[in-house]
Structure 1
Amino acid sequence: MTSDTPAGRAQAIGRQLDHIEARLMAGHLDRRGFIRMATMLGVGTLAATTMADKALAIGANQAELKRELQPRYDYIVCGSGSSGSVVARRLAEDTGVQVLLLEAGGAADAPSILNPAVWYTNIGGPFDWGYKTMPRPGLNNRSIAMPMGKAIGGGSSINATVWARGHKNDYDRWARETGDPAWGYQHVLEIFKRIEDRQGEPDPARRGKGGLVFMQPAPDASPLAPAMVQGCAAIGIPAFADHNGAMMEGAGGAAIANLCIGKDGRRRNVPSHYLYPIMDQPNLTILTQALVHKVTLQGKKAVGVEFEWDGRVRKIGVAREVVLSTGAINTPRILMASGIGDAKELVRLGTPVVANLPGVGQNFQDHTMVAACMWEPPEQAPARNNSAEATFFWKSDPKLPTPDLQPFQIEIPFSSEITSKQAVPTAWTIGPGIVQPKTRGFLRFTSTDPKAGVEIHAKVLEHPDDMAAMRKAIELCREIGNSAPMKPFVKREVMPGPIKGAELDDFIRNAAVSYFHATCTAKMGKDKMSVVDAKLRVHGVQDLRIADGSVMPHITTGNTMAPCVIIGERLAEIVKAG
């Protein structure tokens, strides 16, 4: 977002406020100095005073809790991402319980995190675990990045801020596979309505207002975004005012994206909604730079966690339950290190078998995007908001029950390491994406060392139906990009052009990248490959649950942050219900 727009100026002020607030919490600025500087930035005296008092209370409380770590907590939550932050918040709402939250990364106050327009610069950086897939034929033996957030907020701190609920059919399918109707759309919709604080056109039947999670249709969007929605309409994909709601109960459509970006233009990650408001409570201890090694067990009962923090390995006990919320790669890693997984693989690694669960690390699913459908404009338009403000969901085959395509209009020349050689610096992109993949990959662990590598066999595009869907996605994106509503923004099509057959397939394999939605590696269900049951309890292990994207039996239709929040909310409901 540029600083010459009202939203851009608000974002610049917001970044300055974040900087001085961080200095205040760290003890490098006093209360009076903060209030003076905040008022100079245009914050009212009362609001500045409230901000200062909250930040000081949080800083003092968390510092004291870290100095006085307890030998045992009622709950230990591992991971502060889109599910873990929710779980920790909901459990700590009962002030009679003590909650310990462990996060392997650090604070989420870096400019590249706070500024949503540059989210892509975090890929491969200090806030990313840095995972890559194994080379495989579906990608012409390329290895691609598999970003996972390593900071407070996990993926919600480095993603593109998109709040995409998924399709109605996704949740009804979960309900069927788990045998629990509470995972179905009817109940999940009620959770969404309760937690959302959606701005924009009201839809009380489907959308929430006044909840914890602030989101809005991209404000002051680039002219490219509504033009793409109009381009979709020109080829028969209907336009909607909301990319969630009614659009995701039917055949799909096009809309301006819902984004978790505040009125000040800054990223609103999941902890900003859930954790920050209660970090001054004495029953919530948050440790950053705390790398979980394994769950400690007595027989088949979880009794605590072993983790590395402040220069040494520690063990802390748990009175009630351990909750793993460390994501689709690290959750299986921790399970395997704890003796929970495929018995043959555990024996190979030299780990005693506690629970033989062959589904750990299997069923890997992700969304795939082709980073290369690109147009050069007559003149460059600066990116705004998250640099990706419009999207559509559609079916590659009308007979499908659920949309399987989700391209995004991206206001920069988004490309792979191969297609970047043809990219134009001023170009914009429509990224074809498939979101109902039939490919199923797997993880293979090379060691129980928590810092050792993991082999990610994503098997991208190795199912022929996925390649067929991607061909259709490219066809649609080219039609839209070359449509009449987009002509004011097109000097020429950069790539791919009207290529067909083997040449198109080669282009796809060279341009494909991850959509950054790794999931499904510890799925819930009742079959022999499931890892948790409908109440998110690990099969065969007492007092251990999982709440993150790994428990999805099938990946949702669209960006996965919002569904991961639902998983956290569902676990909290289940635990509180006893």
Structure 2
Amino acid sequence: MLLIEAGAEAADPDIWNPAAWPLLQGRDYDWDYRTEPQAGTAGRVHRWARGRLVGGSSCLHAMGYMRGHPSDYQAWADTTGDSRWSWEGLLPVFQAIEDHPLGGDGIHGKEGPLPVYLPADEVSPVARAFIEAGASLGLPRLQGHNNGEMIGVTPNSLNIRDGRRVTVADAWLTPAVRSRPNLTILTQARVRRLKLDGNQVCSLEIVGRQGLVEAFADQVVLCAGALESPALLMRSGIGPQGKLDAAGVGCVIDMPGVGRNLQDHLLGAGNFYAARKPVPPSRLQHSESMAYMRAGTFAANGQPEIVVGCGIAPIVSECFQAPAAGTAYSLLFGITHPTSRGSIGISGAEIGDRLIIDPAYLQTGRDRELFRQALEAARAVGHRDELADWRERELLPGTLNSVAEIDDFVAQSVITHHHPCGTCRMGKDADAVVDSDLRLKALDNLFIVDASIMPSLTSGPIHAAVLAIAETFARTVAYDMV
């Protein structure tokens, strides 16, 4: 087995420091993509951090581990016609992944490769006050976000052990695995294109330190993510013919769904408060609690529609000036299931040609209305008496006198939550790119196993869902390939 990684082995010690994660963005192991200017966000270009190293984006993300809501996965099962992708079908998969302090209760996993940490004493006093404020409004108190109930207040579950980040490489590429004689890890190498022979991939063109080489394989599993997986297909002549023609790539297989259905979570950054007294630095990773809820109510249950998060550090978009750390805190706000859909394209045939990333942020009226309600919910929490000991005054957004002013503030404040997905979605319909076994529909021996195959976003961070996708593939399809 040959594992090809565009970057190098993880070596920066900051990677394993949970509090350092925002500082990792822009370093040489971050792809640091740029979107197209977004009409829905005041014409802004958004920077998308993605990991270019062994362990991928699990080396850069904020370490939140949230499975999502059962309804999220019922949508997957309905789209594919396959119960493996339902909550019930994925429950044993999640359990196999996790080493959870509540493991063994029939819901959470125990002694799996990935720790799921429930913070306790080290939770910031600001986050504790935030949780109390949410509870006073009627939100249930939860023990983490992973038992099927998402609506409520709780400290975030994190992939941390003994105060250190645990990446997917730490968890799965252990020394015992790396020493297997049937595994070769090739770093600092990129697949330029796939070469086809009929309905099969016959070889891969690889560019790396050794120059241009060709590798032959009976089976190919593509795990390049929601941006690079469709890009590689398109460079190989697999994708929408019009986009390929525009990029100067000959169309070998016309697949209109490749690169479509791009989705991402946005967070408003934010509802911002000057602190009455110094805010202690986070002992975790700055964003310590996410409160999920229905729009317009704090008392309902079911599938979340909006989210409010507590940022211990002053977190704002580039449109606003952030004061010094310790002098302010942020309440982030967003929606869980945006209906806006964007796309990925290529500008040319070579790996150095830029990607055309258009997430089409805030293009539907529903998304804009839910963002208004998410901001309203954040301000309701932020002005509660439970936060009075910390709140001196609200700095942002200030007085908003109309829907247009609210929408303008949202457009300036939103930032990516780093959850791009959906660009090679699975499904049983003709436009789906892969089937429920994650096999590319047009080829016999190419599988895609990453966030690109997600038909729709889960309610929270997608890291847990991506791991469940990989584990499901390994347990069912990959096992039969061996």
Deviation string 1:460-500 (CA, Å, 9 cap, x unpaired) is: 11111111111111111111122122122222222113424
Identify which of 368, 372, 383 aligns with 1:482: 383
CA distance in 2, matches of 1:432, 1:550: 25
Whether the 8 Å contact between 1:323 and 1:547 is mirrored in structure 2 is yes
- Structure 2: which 5+ residue stretches go unaligned? none
Task: Quote the residue 2:371 is aligned against.
Answer: 470
Identify which of 7, 13, 18 aligns with 1:116: 18
CA distance in 2, matches of 1:168, 1:499: 36
Q: Displacement, 1:424?
A: 5.0
CA distance in 2, matches of 1:152, 1:397: 42
Q: Displacement, 1:538?
A: 0.4
CA distance in 2, matches of 1:400, 1:450: 46
CA distance in 2, matches of 1:559, 1:304: 35
Structure with bigger helix share is 1
Q: Which amino acid aligns with 1:358?
A: P
Q: Displacement, 1:402?
A: 2.1
Deviation string 1:261-288 (CA, Å, 9 cap, x unpaired) is: 111x111011111112411222211122
Runs of 4+ in 1 over 3 A off after TM superposition: 397-401, 422-425
Task: Quote the residue 2:29 is aligned against.
Answer: 127
| Within-5 A mapping of 1:501-512 | 501=402, 502-512=404-414
Q: Displacement, 1:397?
A: 5.1
Q: Displacement, 1:432?
A: 0.5
Question: Helix, strand or coil for the counterpart of 2:214?
Answer: strand
Question: Helix, strand or coil for the counterpart of 1:408?
Answer: strand
Task: Quote the residue 2:295 is aligned against.
Answer: 396
Identify which of 365, 369, 375 aligns with 2:273: 375
Whether the 8 Å contact between 2:314 and 2:322 is mirrored in structure 1 is no
The change in CA–CA distance for 1:276 and 1:329 in structure 2 (over 3 A counts) is same
Are 2:468 and 1:570 equivalent residues in the alignment? no
Identify which of 215, 236, 248 aligns with 2:116: 215
CA distance in 2, matches of 1:227, 1:269: 30
Deviation string 1:315-371 (CA, Å, 9 cap, x unpaired) is: 11103x101111111001100011111122223333232221101110000000111
**Percentage identity across aligned positions?**
33
Q: Displacement, 1:296?
A: 2.1
Q: Displacement, 1:311?
A: 4.3
CA distance in 1, matches of 2:213, 2:245: 26
Are 2:41 and 1:139 equivalent residues in the alignment? yes
CA distance in 2, matches of 1:338, 1:221: 48
Q: Which amino acid aligns with 1:285?
A: T
Identify which of 492, 502, 521 aligns with 2:393: 492
Q: Which amino acid aligns with 1:434?
A: I
Are 2:83 and 1:184 equivalent residues in the alignment? no
CA distance in 2, matches of 1:559, 1:422: 25
CA distance in 1, matches of 2:236, 2:351: 11
| Within-5 A mapping of 1:140-289 | 140-199=42-101, 201=102, 204-219=105-120, 220-248=122-150, 252-263=151-162, 265-277=163-175, 278-289=177-188
Task: Quote the residue 2:246 is aligned against.
Answer: 348
Identify which of 344, 350, 354 aligns with 1:449: 350
Q: Displacement, 1:458?
A: 0.9
Deviation string 1:161-195 (CA, Å, 9 cap, x unpaired) is: 01111111111110110011111110101111122
CA distance in 1, matches of 2:148, 2:221: 34
Question: Helix, strand or coil for the counterpart of 1:257?
Answer: coil
Are 2:6 and 1:107 equivalent residues in the alignment? no
| Within-5 A mapping of 1:278-427 | 278-319=177-218, 321-377=219-275, 378-396=277-295, 402-419=303-320, 421=321, 423-425=323-325, 426-427=327-328
TM value normalised by structure 1: 0.79
Q: Which amino acid aligns with 2:75?
A: R
| Within-5 A mapping of 1:83-98 | none
Q: Displacement, 1:307?
A: 1.4
Tell me how many residue pairs correspond in the alignment: 473
Per mean C-alpha deviation after superposition, the further-off stretch among 301-310 and 356-365 is 301-310
Task: Quote the residue 1:21 is aligned against.
Answer: none
Q: Which amino acid aligns with 2:395?
A: V
Task: Quote the residue 1:428 is aligned against.
Answer: 329
Q: Displacement, 1:212?
A: 1.1
CA distance in 2, matches of 1:223, 1:156: 27
The change in CA–CA distance for 1:182 and 1:478 in structure 2 (over 3 A counts) is same
Task: Quote the residue 1:3 is aligned against.
Answer: none
Q: Displacement, 1:102?
A: 0.8
Whether the 8 Å contact between 1:300 and 1:355 is mirrored in structure 2 is no
Q: Displacement, 1:375?
A: 1.4
Whether the 8 Å contact between 1:373 and 1:474 is mirrored in structure 2 is yes
Whether the 8 Å contact between 1:128 and 1:148 is mirrored in structure 2 is yes
Q: Which amino acid aligns with 1:231?
A: A
CA distance in 2, matches of 1:402, 1:494: 31
The change in CA–CA distance for 1:361 and 1:397 in structure 2 (over 3 A counts) is farther
Deviation string 1:421-454 (CA, Å, 9 cap, x unpaired) is: 2645421111102120010011221112111111
Whether the 8 Å contact between 1:102 and 1:287 is mirrored in structure 2 is yes
Q: Root-mean-square deviation (CA), in Å?
A: 1.7
Whether the 8 Å contact between 1:365 and 1:439 is mirrored in structure 2 is yes
Q: Displacement, 1:401?
A: 6.0
CA distance in 2, matches of 1:108, 1:480: 39
